[in-house]
A and B are shown apart, each in its own frame.
Chain A
Amino acid sequence: MSWFPQRRQRTWLQKGCEAILTVGPVPKHVAIIMDGNRRFAVKKSLAKCEGHLKGFDKLAETLEWCLDLGISEVTVYAFSIENFKRSSDEVSYLMELSRQKFAKLLQERDLIHKHGVCVRIIGDISLLPRDLQELLAEAVSISSENKRAILNVCFAYTARDDICMAMRELAIAVKEGQIKNSDISEELLEKCLYTSHSSPVDLLIRTSGETRLSDFLLWESSFSCLAFVKVLWPEFSIWHLYAAILHYQRNYNKIQIARQNQTIERERLQRDSDYHCMMEELSLETASRDSISCMTAPSPLSITTEHKSMQERVQQYAREREKRTEAFLSCVYERRKQFMKSLLPVRPIMSAKPTAVLTC
């Protein structure tokens, strides 16, 4: 089945529900754990592979529903690093399925551009077979300019691995002196994660009735609405999606308040840290100077000017810190981009195909 299935006419009831739902807040970013493909296969006495295939078809369908509702970013958990532990038959089948599906996606590039879908891969794809890596990289590169909707596919991903990768980036930069150890903050680590270019996850859906996160977006989903749906993934319907959005709307206000408080708190911590770092620098400076000049009682005037200059110094320090971290982040992003580029197959331009002279 194609990534962009033939549009099915929707019933007046669905249209009505959609119109009513979209009056309220609609999540911008939905993350989905597509669980229950194998159990579905067992239930319907199909082969395991059939279950996975049905799961993919459901994904294509769900993406269409999301686009219609105005959900502009969808993240799906396609393959976890832990899934490599499954039987080698199943793993190789899943790899083959992904190969076929991404090859299909590359064939459908006109449709990708028509729908304006940008595909991103989240995870350590160097763990995958080389040919699959190349396919993924090509899918990312041809769609990178699209803006209307974003599909993040988590492939060879676990959240803990993602956090560790970010820590490694930071550790290298600290070692090389690109950033200071004190520059490491929640915000900076977040910007080193694979999901750094995504908007915050608003709604996380897990099907099949399991109520775990299973190492999926642990950091990012702290302030997301969680929806655990009972049905198996291939049985997921548009009504379950509507119900999940209703659930999101019921929780919307409280989560929004918590998020705002969180941002305020982060800013406060950052200011504190800037102040302390600046004071440390200052004390180092004065320690070298103090050995010469003796202390004199400061006049009230000098206190106010000193206070003012303190504020300026903190701001100065913050500006320098921002400059440092920005340079560091652009390095990290550039390196990741280059890695993806290095995977692209070296191939002559498509139009330069050999002409069909031979057949004549």
Chain B
Amino acid sequence: MQNNQLQHFFSKMRYLNIVSVSVFILFSANAASAQRISDTIRIKTIEIFADKIVKEEAGKTTTKIDSISMIKALTSNLSELVAQNTPIFIKEYGRGAMATASFRGTAPSHTQVSWNGISLNSPMLGMVDFSTIPVYFTDNVSLLHGSGSLSEKSGALGGVVKLANTTDWQNKFSGRLLTGVGSYGTRDEFFQINGGNNKMQSQTRAFYNYSDNDYQFVNKFIADIDPKTGKYLYPTQRNENSQYENYGFLQEFYLHPTEKSIFILRYWYQHNDRSLPRLLSNETDNNANINRQSENAHRPVAEWKYYGKKGTLSLSSGANIQLLNYQLKTKVSGAADQLVINSDSRSASYLFKASYNYQFSDNLSIITGANTEINSVLSKNSPLNGEPQGYDRQRSDHSVYIQFSKSFNDKLSANLLAREDFIGGKSTPFIPSAGIEYHPFRDKGYFLKGNLARNYHQPTLNDLYYIPGGNPQLKPEEGIMADLGSGYAGPVGNTVTFHVSLNGYYSRINNWIIWLPTPQGYWEPYNMKRVNASGFELNTGISGKLYAVDYHLNGNYAFTRSINRDDPRNWADESIGKQLPYIPRHSANFLFNLSRSGYHFTWLWTYYSERFTTTSNDKTSKLDVLYPYFMNNLHLGKEIKLNRQKLDIELKILNLFNEDYRTVLQHPMPRRNYSLLIRYDF
């Protein structure tokens, strides 16, 4: 019984999952049996619901990606996981190619991705390429929407995608092996080995992922003219020069030296190597304009937590070091190979964090902390025929914050947060945030919540110093953000759990930074006067059991208005009052999973409405708009249990209806394709 309650509690914490670590520790320090942090990998599906407001979380909109979605996306990268399970819009440039996120209608740099407390956003570009983050290497993924992200960090005008790893203190020896083969010469290999006792745990993971990625398509963007009939002959082509190879290694040590402290060490190394295929309209020489991007990332993190009777102290330090090389090569008949662009960059963020959480009582707490982030970028571009150019800059960003959280009774909780940032030695305006949450009925499943905040996003080092174009005079982006949400989460009868939530938001973002071309041929960043991003997110899910069939459904719909409120450049400017390019007004997805006696069936559906490619939202030519996107993927599998071991064989059918489509203007996407995975858990 005791165990069940704890299980329930921890799962609830994962469901809520914001400052949960500190809160959870308070409890675990009191209960010896609480050392069992649940093993998320093994848990099939648990939908647990809050019956008491976590006051530190009051008013914040959060989403936790459930364990079924996580396991279905195990061999995917974060871009697929997020696109298929959350309201975030992912703009992908092709299979295996760069993928950027738009959270609540904002720019890619407005979505912060944190991995066990360190920021994965490059200080050079500000954004994260979601296609480079393997789902293998994370155990929990949750979203902090909009202003709900301020308890984590400032600058996430869209929100935070939070990746966390956990361990199972009860584990002695366990692991997982996974191997997969797929269409277009795709291979996926993964292993994980966990070992230890209740004082120490080690987790080792590694993956390898390769694809020729040479899918075939009929190119209707170019044509030869048949000399006899005058008819067009469309060439059948392969998606050439787009193979990718990624591999990585993650080692974690969890130490529990005393009852009251935990020490964690992590190191993540990853290598990504790939190229972006040429556009459909390309008719250069076969060896011309071949690009290659290769990246090495090192991410060490150390974390120490001490749980006192009422206070929890947490210290952590880590780094995100990314080494990037981009080359554009061209081979010309009669001339030597030309290295047209050779660009090297090293971006590094070193992070130091301290936070202290003190519970005066069950009803009042204070969280305070300080962060320091030292960002440095060395960027060197060696153009053909020109002298190398680039920049070498450092910036230290400091942040201090304090949050008061209070429960007035078991129906009403509120919190207040104040943050002050010091960017490159200058203090930014004060950042406040206030949240309130109310559960009006006896059934605590119903909730109403709201949050109001100010937020600042600093220009990236490329924005300021890139050559050519960087503008040191850029102002930070300032957001005023309001959130309002309502919904229900709880059981319906004995076998069904159900949740639904509707969250509306409104953000005014002043000085929005955008890079635009100049008459000189290069691009320059500039502060737009304002962008208004508003909309709502609807999330619903149901799971239960019917005629011995376990079913699970989760769906999202987002309505997004991201409107240009800049000053018009002149009378002819038609961009004002229009939706920003490439942000769909409507987006939706759902996951539908059925399982019985080890057989399982999953259907994933994703939809985006049309996306404009112009700021004027022109629809005169079909080249101005990308048609709505509908994607269906199907997974079929069988799991065999052998004592503690499990063998799972799964067939994935991607692009079920064999759509011939593009997600950006001139990169084709693959037709129906398959992947077969064998997973062995021990």
Co-assembled chains A and B? no
